[in-house]
Amino acid sequence: MGLEVEVNDLSTMQHLPEGAAFSVGPLVNAYNEGTLRWLAGRGASRVCLPPELPLTSVATLAGSVPIPVEVWGCGRLPLAISGRCHHARPHDRSKDNCQFVCGADPDGRDVETLDGQDFLAVDGVQTLSASCANAAHQFSRLRRAGVTSLRLSPQSQGFAAFCGLFRDLIDGRIGAEELSAVALPSAPGGRYSGGFLTGAPGVAWSARD
């Protein structure tokens, strides 16, 4: 079809037609310069780094290859992929006959601990963060590190406006504080986390840049 393919499993690459354009998604373990150089040498047009990397590692990796480097900008973080469907099992359905029950929870199904604390979210075979990771306050540092784009995870409510807020942030029309305040009511999980960029626990949230 001539469309660019995003690779999130390296075994996919052997099935790509010769010369087909492809990018690399955040589920590929691209944690070091050698891996990024190998991917670039194989023809990758861009790489979205795994979301669990700190800013120091992001800067090192972004400076190691001549292709665009993307990081997770906002949304629930993808933490793991399971061989079992987390949505089918509670409904007594098999993975092969799930009837797409995950559609009932378009932003993921919340998972709580036994004492009622938000813990994770699940979406089909994916395990996600309970909170919405928000890198808006690290935007200036990411730009200085050589990051060329931010990945925004789709959400069921207000996603077009959400993208517009980040466009305004990039273009300097609003600040991170205003963006975070306006976007919070529609953020999956109803709260933010800082992800792993600052080196603090990923679930922690600090608005300081």
- pTM beyond 0.95: the answer is no
| Domain boundaries of the chain, sorted by first residue | 5-74+133-193, 79-129
What's the pLDDT tens digit per position in 124-151? 999 999 999 999 999 999 999 999 999 9
Report which of 202, 209, 133 is spatially closest to residue 175, judged by C-alpha positions: 209
The superfamily in CATH containing domain 5-74+133-193 is Aldolase class I (3.20.20.70)
Q: What is the pLDDT of residue 54?
A: 94
Give the confidence band of 209 by pLDDT, cuts at 50, 70, 90. Answer: very low
Residue range 176-201: mean pLDDT, rounded? 91
What's the pLDDT tens digit per position in 50-108? 999 999 999 999 999 999 999 999 999 999 988 888 888 888 898 888 899 999 999 99
